[in-house]
């Protein structure tokens, strides 16, 4: 089964650096046969769409509005993202939960909206270090999944991103990720009545190749920092 690789550029690059990176990706991935999704910021999305149009790379957004259209200052709708050529959208990233106060109800509404507009959502879930330390990981994940996936159709991707691993250089151990992914798959299947793909995110680099190679419940990776270099992300995509 081919894996899914998502490159999350966050708010790390200005417009011209984004276009340069997209061009680097275009060169590096011209013969790529897997599924790799680039998620630039909203500002660069249209230009990146043009640059990667003739490549096997797919386009995603880092977020979308929970509304479809109307007087919602500052928002970007899933409908417009789709029209621009995006096929994927990251929803409920821990940075959005933490810094922009996104609740499970908001995340659930965004998932619905993305599905109405035929974007494939990448739902992020994950526990904090404090929750992990007191053994709450599974309870936290179960709660996030139950609330976020209410009345959601199958056909989304779940990204397990332990908050303590994001941008910290501390990758979760592959054996542990395997077990947690098995748990997430089981919970999500109960809710959605269908199998779901689960990818891992949190400080992944090409150096993790060996430890992640033999796993069976890890359907791909959501990569931040290490995906800001086309060569490094391309190496990760060989996993
Ligand atoms: P990171 O980010 O790879 O820089 O830890 C992953 C993410 O937040 O999606």
Predicted local distance difference test score (pLDDT) of residue 21: 98
Tell me the per-residue pLDDT of 2-54, one tens digit each, with 9 for 90 and over. Answer: 899 999 999 999 999 999 999 999 999 999 999 999 999 999 999 999 999 99
Is 202 near ligand 1, meaning CB less than 6 Å away? yes
Q: Pick the atom of ligand 1 nearest to 90's CA.
A: 9
Ligand 1 centroid from CA 71, angstroms? 32
Predicted local distance difference test score (pLDDT) of residue 1: 60
The Cα–Cα gap between 137 and 135 comes to 6
Ligand 1 centroid from CA 74, angstroms? 25
The Cα–Cα gap between 222 and 212 comes to 13
Predicted local distance difference test score (pLDDT) of residue 153: 96
For the chain, the C-alpha Rg in angstroms (whole number) is 17
pLDDT mean across residues, the chain: 96
Q: How much is the average pLDDT of 145-159?
A: 97
Q: Cα 186–190–194 angle (5° rounding)? A: 85
Give the CATH H-level superfamily of domain 4-238.
Aldolase class I (3.20.20.70)
Q: How much is the average pLDDT of 144-173?
A: 96
Ligand 1 centroid from CA 18, angstroms? 17
Tell me the per-residue pLDDT of 92-135, one tens digit each, with 9 for 90 and over. Answer: 999 999 999 999 999 999 999 999 999 999 999 999 999 999 99
**Model confidence at 212: pLDDT above 90:** no
The Cα–Cα gap between 142 and 140 comes to 5
**Model confidence at 209: pLDDT above 80:** no
Is residue 19 within 8 Å of residue 47, measured between CB atoms? yes
Identify the active-site residue in 93, 127, 181, 234.
93
Q: Is 93 among the residues known to form the active site?
A: yes
Q: Pick the atom of ligand 1 nearest to 168's CA.
A: 5
Predicted local distance difference test score (pLDDT) of residue 199: 97
Alpha helices in 72-197 (DSSP H): 78-84, 94-99, 104-116, 129-133, 137-148, 174-192
Which residues does 73 contact at the CB level (< 8 Å), separation at least 6? Answer: none
**Model confidence at 187: pLDDT above 70:** yes
Domain ranges within the chain, ordered by starting residue: 4-238
Number of neighbouring beta carbons within 10 Å of residue 188: 26
The Cα–Cα gap between 195 and 187 comes to 10
Best mutation site among 4, 5, 8 for ligand 1 pocket (most ligand atoms within 8 Å of CB): 8
Residue 134 burial (C-beta neighbours within 10 Å; 0-12, 13-18, 19+): exposed
Tell me the per-residue pLDDT of 124-146, one tens digit each, with 9 for 90 and over. Answer: 999 999 999 999 999 999 999 99
Is 180 near ligand 1, meaning CB less than 6 Å away? no
Identify the active-site residue in 95, 127, 161, 187.
161
Ligand 1 centroid from CA 222, angstroms? 7
Q: What is the pTM of this model?
A: 0.97
Residue of 201, 211, 205 lying closest to 232 (CA atoms): 205
């Amino acid at each position: 089964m081919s894996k899914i690789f998502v490159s999350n550029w966050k708010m790390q690059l200005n417009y011209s650096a984004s276009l340069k990176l997209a061009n680097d990706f275009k060169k590096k991935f011209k013969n790529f046969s897997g599924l790799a999704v680039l998620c630039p910021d909203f500002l660069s999305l249209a230009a990146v769409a043009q640059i990667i149009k003739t490549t096997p790379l797919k386009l995603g957004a880092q977020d979308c509005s929970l509304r479809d259209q109307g007087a919602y200052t500052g928002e970007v709708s899933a409908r417009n993202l789709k029209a621009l050529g995006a096929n994927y959208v990251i929803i409920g990233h821990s940075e959005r939960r933490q810094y922009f106060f996104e609740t499970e109800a908001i995340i659930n509404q965004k998932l619905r909206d993305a599905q109405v507009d035929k974007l494939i959502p990448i739902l992020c879930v994950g526990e904090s270090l404090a929750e992990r330390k007191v053994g709450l990981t599974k309870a936290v994940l179960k709660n996030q999944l139950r609330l976020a996936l209410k009345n959601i159709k199958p056909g989304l991707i779940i990204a397990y991103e332990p908050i303590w691993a994001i941008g910290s250089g501390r990758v979760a151990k592959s054996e542990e990720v395997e077990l947690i992914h098995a748990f997430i798959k089981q919970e999500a299947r109960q809710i959605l009545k269908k199998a779901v793909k689960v990818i891992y995110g949190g400080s992944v680099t090409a150096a993790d190749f060996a430890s992640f190679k033999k796993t069976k419940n890890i359907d791909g990776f959501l990569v931040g920092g290490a995906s800001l270099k086309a060569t490094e992300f391309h190496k990760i995509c060989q996993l």
